[in-house]
Amino acid sequence: MFRTQRKLNEPAIPFNQCLEYLLRPGMKWVITGKPKPSSENFSVNFKAGPAEGDDIVLHLNPIFQTRSVVRNARTNGAWRKDFEESTPFFPFEKYKSFRIEITCLADKFKIDVNGDHFANYKHRYDLHQITHLNIDGQVDIDAVEFLYTGTNPNIQEPSVTYYNPTSMFTMKLDRHLKRGTEVIVRGMGRDVFGMNFHCGPSATDDYAFRFSPEFNAQRGSFATQ
């Protein structure tokens, strides 16, 4: 078993942090703080990008006027219709300390508040879409803590993310590839593109693996050289 822990004290709000690791079961975030005395609501969001309009995979939104906690997800600017807001209890009070624990399980997020189980939220999207944790609204945050206990040793090494790289993108790997290493590429394809693991920086260098979808030919090629 491997254990990893990170903690950030008193972050500024709005808080928008790129996650060090790809989400997987066994990961937990612990958020402690206090709603402001005049708070109407605040939110905790796991997002697929840093921008305000990016998709949200989990939106947790306590609302004081209705004493409800909305759980929802958003894609392409539209909130899902199957949102959840029923609660066994309303665990938040203005300017009283709270502790939110969000645990990623294989099929859902498990949400605990102040030591009690509060709700589950089934995964609506691929966990690999999640890149950022965002906290916004009328709230003071004391700490955000990340914990992982599991069997994947790669969690000991933070992930590296590049946004909107140029075409003909080449980067030197900052670590040796080993069993279990994940490389995830998201984008929009054209007629053909290729992704190569090279044995050097030049296009003429040997490559250990090439992946090249060809849309017109309705096929993809795999090769080593």
- pLDDT score at 184: 72
Please compute, for residue 103, the number of CA atoms within 13 A of its CA located in the half-sphere on the CB side.
Answer: 17
**Beta-carbon contacts of residue 42 (< 8 Å; ≥ 6 apart):** 35, 61, 62, 135, 136, 137, 138, 139
User: To which residue do tokens 């029923």 refer?
Assistant: 86
3-148: CATH number: 2.60.120.200
On whether the CB atoms of residues 210 and 225 are closer than 8 A, the answer is yes
pTM: 0.71
Token readout for 188 is 């929009």
Instruction: Grade residue 3 by pLDDT with cuts at 50, 70 and 90.
Output: low
CA separation for the pair 146, 149 (Å, rounded): 10
Q: SS in 3 state form for 46-79? A: EECCCCCCCCEEEEEEEECCCCEEEEEEEECCEE
- pLDDT score at 224: 52
CA-wise closest residue to 2 among 135, 220, 153, 174:
153
- pLDDT score at 153: 61
CA-wise closest residue to 103 among 153, 146, 47:
146
- pLDDT score at 154: 60
What is the chain's alpha carbon radius of gyration, rounded to the nearest angstrom? 21
Coil, strand or helix: which one is 154? helix
The residue-averaged pLDDT of 39-57 equals 95
- Per cent of the chain over pLDDT 90 is 53
Condensed to tens digits (0 to 9), the pLDDT of residues 151-192 reads 666 655 555 666 667 777 777 776 666 666 667 777 766 677
27-35 vs 98-104, strand pairing mode: antiparallel
Domain ranges of the chain: 3-148, 158-217
Instruction: Grade residue 123 by pLDDT with cuts at 50, 70 and 90.
Output: very high
More confident position, 195 or 83: 83
